[in-house]
Amino acid sequence: MSDSTKAHPITPATLVLLVLPPLLWAGNSVVGRLMVGQLAPLELSFWRWCVALAAALPFTAAALWRSRARLWQQRGALLRMGFFGIACYNSLQYVALHTTTPLNVALISSAGPVFIVLIGAIFYREPAGIEALLGGALSALGVIVVVTQGQLLHLAQLRLAVGDVVMLVAVVLWGFYTWELRRHPLGLPPLVGLSAQMVVGTVIIAPFALWARFALGEVSLWAPSGVAAVLYVSLAASLLAYVCWGEAVARTGAQVPVYFANLMPVFVALLSFVLLHEGIRVFHLIGAALIFGGIHVSLRGRSRIKVPT
């Protein structure tokens, strides 16, 4: 399908499909922050995907069973997808939210498309043009501004927030996940393929969640708010957002939704202000401008970037 939007005008219904996923993903970051001290991060990640998988299986179980031979043949790629995309990225995001703000997480995640381009050039022999490299440099500078809180002249004495570093690792791993999706497509309907990845991801997360609980003492304090949080991140930020995103891509092509995904930090900032009483500082605005400018420059020569959630 062509990425041109001329054949696919953005109707009000399509606009809703484009705006809803970044809003729901923004809510995921804020909910993760709200659950600090109540739900252990790895346990939240585990139950997020368990509930999402349980909700998806009635619609995908039969197709998964029919595709079992194909999935076994692609078990290596499926294992890497489940590890990078389901287990690592989301778990590390919730870990990061214990020591950094949702807005920092959102801004660092927003640089994901540029990291994907650079990882493709370094590890997958995918040529990156001068625009991609320039965009990567701009976005990298934006990330540095965010994680250093604008104190570029004091880098030697600066102590970075652990959560910012953890989120950087998560975004890099998401880059590898995206390239695995490109190089080793499962050849299944989107929700069926996601279900297969969720099976692998939850199996990988489970022992780490148990280790965190019994070895590190990270015990969750379950309450109605914790149950509501799990339901939100599972059904809204995972399945509903994914379905809307897929439909938006089908209607408009792959490039237009990437720009709408850049709304996520805006929504995070608004939700953080209302729910967490966290303000926006000048370094956030400068970093965001550099990150989004870098993405715009990079995407002038690239059109198929998958955004982390």
pLDDT in tens, 3-45: 444 445 678 888 898 889 889 998 999 999 999 999 999 999 9
The reply to whether 3 falls in a domain is no
| Of 183 and 309, the one with more pLDDT | 183
What domain count does the chain have? 1
**Dist. CA 144–CA 171, nearest whole Å:** 14
The reply to whether 160 falls in a domain is yes
The reply to whether 305 falls in a domain is no
**Dist. CA 170–CA 5, nearest whole Å:** 32
**Dist. CA 309–CA 300, nearest whole Å:** 22
The reply to whether 4 falls in a domain is no
Q: What six digits make up the tokens of 79?
A: 């294992």
The reply to whether 6 falls in a domain is no
237-281 pLDDT tens trace? 999 988 888 788 778 765 566 667 777 888 888 888 888 888 777
Q: How many CB atoms lie within 10 A of CB 222?
A: 13
The reply to whether 168 falls in a domain is yes
Q: Which amino acid is at 262?
A: N
Domain region containing 162: 12-299
Q: How many CB atoms lie within 10 A of CB 122?
A: 11
103-122 pLDDT tens trace? 888 888 877 777 777 888 88
The reply to whether 64 falls in a domain is yes
The reply to whether 306 falls in a domain is no
**pLDDT at residue 147 above 50?**
yes
**DSSP for 141-192, written as a single string:** HHHHHHHTTT-GGGGGG----HHHHHHHHHHHHHHHHHHHHHHS---S-HHH
